[in-house]
A and B are shown apart, each in its own frame.
Chain A
Amino acid sequence: MESVLRLLADHGPAFGQALLLTWKLTALSFVAGFALGIVVAVASLLPLRPLRFVLIGYVEVFRNIPSVALLIFIVFALPDLQVVIDYEPSVILTLSLVCSAFTADYLRTGINTVAGGQVDAARSLGMSPMVIISSIVLPQALRSVVQPMTSLLIALMLSTALASQVPLPGRELTALVAKIANDSAAGISAFALAAAMYLASGLLIAWAGATLDRKVRILR
């Protein structure tokens, strides 16, 4: 306990900043990945064969590639192709791509829960397919994926740890722990503090997700 207090005195502000950076990376990649995932899921519904084919490949690639491998490719290999992306955008890009693939996959499952009869009914009312997707299929699909999306957001939050693999100007929690453990003997208490922060963030997300799920879930 005493060592944790000393750690807080020495590195308190650094931990605060690290937690904020972890949250920032999580939030930005989730928003971008979620939006992109919706686009991918809707676009794969369109009766355009070449597009569907490419999107299936997109989802499989980004669901199966390890995030670190993707991040390292973006940060270290792309400059050889004269594409230079700064470190922080690279991390966010990596996580959003991975997040979008999982989002598209979950949404597809959610879309499948919408009964075909509803779409038949909407078509016989003369609604166009795009209107049906945006006002009948998607709202129900989105309501049904709150739980998996909550787990995805927690996994994404934990994945921001991979930002420690590139020389980001600011340090997120894992990078900070690695640095403190490297420089001093305070590794264990630094680890305990960071772990507590990750746990608290995860619980917060889980609680928010459960609350949202209770509000919007469709009881069948």
Chain B
Amino acid sequence: MSRTLEDVLFGDLNHRAQAITRGVSVTVAAALAVLLAAIVCRFHAAGQFEPRLWEFFAWETTWAFLGKGLLGTLASAAAAAGIALALGLVLLVGRLSPLRLVRWPAVAVIEFLRGVPTLLLIYVCFLVLPSVGIKLNAYWMLTLPVGLSTAAVVAEVYRAGVLAVPRGQTEAARALGLTQARVFVHVVFPQALRYIVPALVAQLVIVVKDTTFGYVVTYGELMQNAKVLISNYRSLVPVYLAVAVLYCLVNYGISRASRRLARPMG
């Protein structure tokens, strides 16, 4: 069964239907071309093709600055991912604990961090924590909230993986005399990880997206550096377009990697 649904639906059209399909295809292509032309015209009419709005993209310094922003984004995303992976594991162990005194707080923390917008957590680190005497620098005001809210999601992803490991594995290991802790560390968790690597990598896309809020705390990530470029060159459309393309490329790359990992291993 390798036929896709499209093939089944439209697979064996008669000649007339094929001719119609071709005709409509050409019409659609023409309509899309007209749309593209209209966008180009709009750019031209609004004076957005003026060289002064684009010329700085030919300068090395521009790309060095945007590259620095991208590095800032990645540095924050990487640390946030590290926090999420580690804290997620702690929350998972708490969530799976047979002791209610441990399990309930873990559930509460997970539900809380998952149920609150990351941006709200960033505002707490930015506006509320300083008033109680905790001062973080811009990097941590961004990275910590992003890491925390991702940790809760990661804990649930871990849990899905652990639940996917067949019970027989635990029972067999216990029957061999391994302690509960060793069963988890040596038998269950390594297998769980294999199930969830694609989901974890996909989560990275959300981390990268969340670091976009870095400009809120004036941390030098891609969006913040874009704003600086814009105030220097008064060139909104080209810079924001470039930034959007960069974000899309990075996230598309991560998504592709995740999908590749999700394919069954030969």
Contacts and interface: CB of A to CB of B under 8 A. Distances in A.
B21 A48 contact: yes
Contact of A181 (B10, B127, B213, B244): B127
A161 B248 CA distance: 21
A198 B117 contact: yes
A183 B115 CA distance: 26
B247 interface: yes
Given A116-B5, A181-B127, A60 B32 contact: no
A195 B116 contact: yes
Interface residues of B, number: 53
B22 to A, nearest CB: 9
A interface bracket (residues with beta carbon within 8 Å of B):
35 or more
B27 to A, nearest CB: 9
Majority DSSP secondary structure for residues of A touching B: helix
A60 B252 contact: yes
Contacts of A80: 46, 48, 236-237
Interface in A166-210: 173-174, 177-178, 181-182, 185, 187-188, 191, 194-195, 198-199, 202-203
Interface stretch (A4-12, A67-75, A88-96, A211-219): A67-75
Nearest to B128: A187
A54 B32 contact: yes
B42 A73 contact: no
A45 interface: yes
Contacts of A178: 123, 127
Given A64-B251, A69-B244, A77-B237, A119 B5 contact: yes
B3 interface: yes
Interface stretch (B92-100, B166-174, B184-192, B204-212): B204-212
Interface in B233-266: 236-237, 240-241, 243-244, 247-248, 251-252, 255
A66 interface: yes
A116 B116 contact: no
Given A116-B1, A182-B127, A198-B115, A64 B120 contact: no
A128 B144 CA distance: 55
B60 interface: no
A51 interface: yes
B240 A77 contact: yes
B247 A65 contact: yes
A17 interface: no
A111 B247 contact: no
Nearest to B29: A50
A69 B128 contact: no
Q: Which 4 A-B pairs have the closest CB atoms?
A: A64-B251, A161-B117, A187-B128, A181-B127
Interface of B: 1, 3, 5-6, 8-10, 13, 21, 24-25, 28-29, 32, 42-43, 45-46, 48, 111-112, 114-120, 123-124, 127-128, 131-132, 205, 208-210, 212-213, 216, 223, 236-237, 240-241, 243-244, 247-248, 251-252, 255
